[in-house]
């Protein structure tokens, strides 16, 4: 059946997105990589720009492990041994040894009993929250939580859902107290590091509050944190927001596709919870896992982070992040204070954000502008993401480009 009746409606919507500055448009196509040279980090070739090299400041690969020799070798060796795909979902044809080894490594890395792999971090959130949320559950969510958390809560359909103001733990306390006689279970869910701002949740404070209310709910209070932007990039040893604040949540979600540089997502918690999720989570049961070779590459990346070399990468990442933040402040530019390598430049205007992104691209720097509805109106920003691949020359090049926009 033709779709000509629907086509004009879709075109109209796209036109509305374009007029309001929300149209993402065509994606940049990366065609190659230029190796680091002359004190500069790697550069990237973009389709339509010939051999002009671009500095990438919009990547989640915080430690540059996507290009680490040993990680590449681990995947190459595994793909020859296990093939390029898993073949089926795990409960049908069994699992592969690299998946099991990686799950054990991740559990050990985070000091948990068990871990479980998913195809992506988004799938992990969607696959973990609904099975742990019953029809007698109160769900409390930070207002700046990731889209995956918002959609997972909608899929779960709890009896009560409340959104507390960003990092407002007095409001969290009030909301927990309001439902002790109405709900049997409470689930508090938060990002560890908030991906648009680079600030982080006070997981220690959340756990303290939730322990107070735990006896007042028949099935207790559970704290779930998605620390996809924190794990591997935050803390002295890369263990994320938990390490920074000195507290462990009940259920921790992470990704292999950011600081670890590979692909996939995971959850780590107690053994009974993992056993239950393997039986009940459709995003695990009915979806292929990452490939065995990706699992081997990810395990190698975790080993590298959990080493003296990894701590050196993290120290360099912090130094480059500090240099960039100090450079923004020196220019009188507004940012959100913090230590994470997500460094937002608050522009607070959609048109100016678009113009600045174009200026940076004209100066061979890739950075991403964020406007409503990705961020609230009035909080339009450019999200810079620092990497351990960046050198002082790279940071200074980006700062110089920003300075030249102010005078153009």
DSSP 114-168: EEEEESSHHHHHHHHHHHH--TTEEEEEETT--HHHHHHHHHH--SEEEEEPTT-
Name the catalytic one among 99, 146, 258, 340. Answer: 258
258 is catalytic: yes
pLDDT of residue 1: 62
> How many CB atoms are closer than 10 A to CB 27?
7
pLDDT-derived band at 104 (thresholds 50, 70, 90) equals very high
pLDDT at 408 over 70: no
- Give the pLDDT confidence of 120-169 residue by residue, as tens digits: 999 999 999 999 999 999 999 999 999 999 999 999 999 999 999 999 99
Q: Which one is predicted more confidently, 352 or 93?
A: 352
pLDDT of residue 351: 86
For the chain, what is the mean pLDDT? 95
Q: Per-residue DSSP letters for 292-352?
A: HHHHHHHHHHHHHHTSHHHHHHHHHHHHHHHHHHHHHHHTT--B---SSSEEEEE---HHH
| The two three-digit tokens of residue 360, written as one number | 């940076």
229 is catalytic: yes
pLDDT of residue 375: 76
340 is catalytic: no
> pTM (2 decimals)?
0.95
Q: Which of 387, 378, 244, 212 is nearest to 317 (CA)?
A: 387
| The two three-digit tokens of residue 23, written as one number | 């149209």
From CA 146, how far away is CA 254, in angstroms rounded?
13
pLDDT at 216 over 70: yes
Name the catalytic one among 119, 195, 228, 293. Answer: 195
From CA 128, how far away is CA 130, in angstroms rounded?
6
Q: Which of 402, 395, 406 is nearest to 56 (CA)?
A: 395
| The two three-digit tokens of residue 199, written as one number | 């600030």
pLDDT-derived band at 407 (thresholds 50, 70, 90) equals low
pLDDT at 2 over 80: no
| The two three-digit tokens of residue 255, written as one number | 């990704």
Name the catalytic one among 200, 229, 316, 390. Answer: 229
Cis preceding linkage at 373, omega within 30: yes
């Amino acid at each position: 059946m033709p779709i000509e009746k629907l086509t004009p409606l879709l075109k109209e919507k796209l036109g509305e997105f374009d007029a309001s500055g929300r149209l993402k448009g065509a994606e940049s196509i990366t065609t190659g990589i230029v190796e680091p040279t002359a004190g500069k980090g790697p550069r990237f070739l973009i389709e339509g720009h010939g051999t002009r090299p671009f500095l990438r400041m919009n990547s989640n690969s915080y430690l540059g492990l996507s290009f680490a020799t040993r990680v590449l070798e681990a995947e190459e060796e595994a793909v020859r041994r296990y093939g390029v795909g898993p073949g089926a979902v795990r409960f049908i044809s069994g699992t592969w040894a690299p998946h099991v080894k990686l799950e054990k490594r991740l559990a050990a890395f985070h000091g948990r009993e068990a871990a479980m792999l998913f195809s992506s971090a988004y799938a992990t959130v969607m696959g973990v929250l609904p099975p742990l949320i019953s029809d007698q559950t109160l769900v409390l969510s930070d207002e700046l939580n990731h889209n995956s958390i918002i959609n997972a809560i909608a899929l779960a359909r709890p009896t009560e859902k409340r959104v507390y103001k960003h990092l407002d733990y007095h409001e969290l306390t009030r909301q927990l107290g309001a439902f002790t006689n109405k709900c049997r279970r409470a689930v508090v869910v938060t990002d560890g590091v908030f991906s648009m701002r680079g600030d982080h949740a006070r997981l220690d404070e959340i756990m303290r509050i939730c322990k107070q209310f735990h006896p007042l709910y028949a099935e207790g209070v559970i704290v779930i944190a998605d620390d996809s932007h924190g794990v591997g990039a935050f803390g002295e040893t890369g263990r994320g927001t938990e390490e920074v604040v000195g507290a462990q949540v009940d259920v921790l979600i992470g990704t292999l596709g950011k600081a670890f540089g590979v692909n996939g997502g995971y959850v780590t918690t107690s053994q009974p919870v993992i056993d239950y999720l393997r039986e009940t989570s459709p995003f695990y049961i009915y979806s292929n896992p990452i490939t065995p070779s990706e699992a081997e590459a990810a395990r190698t990346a975790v080993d590298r982070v959990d080493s003296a070399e990894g701590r050196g990468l993290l120290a360099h990442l912090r130094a480059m992040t500090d240099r960039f933040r100090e450079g923004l402040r020196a220019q009188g530019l507004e940012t959100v204070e913090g230590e994470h390598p997500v460094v937002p430049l608050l522009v607070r205007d959609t048109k100016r954000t678009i113009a600045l992104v174009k200026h940076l691209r004209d100066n061979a720097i890739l950075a991403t502008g964020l406007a409503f509805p990705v961020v609230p109106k009035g909080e339009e920003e450019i999200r810079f993401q620092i990497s351990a691949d960046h050198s002082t020359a790279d940071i200074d090049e980006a700062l110089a480009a920003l300075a030249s926009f102010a005078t153009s």
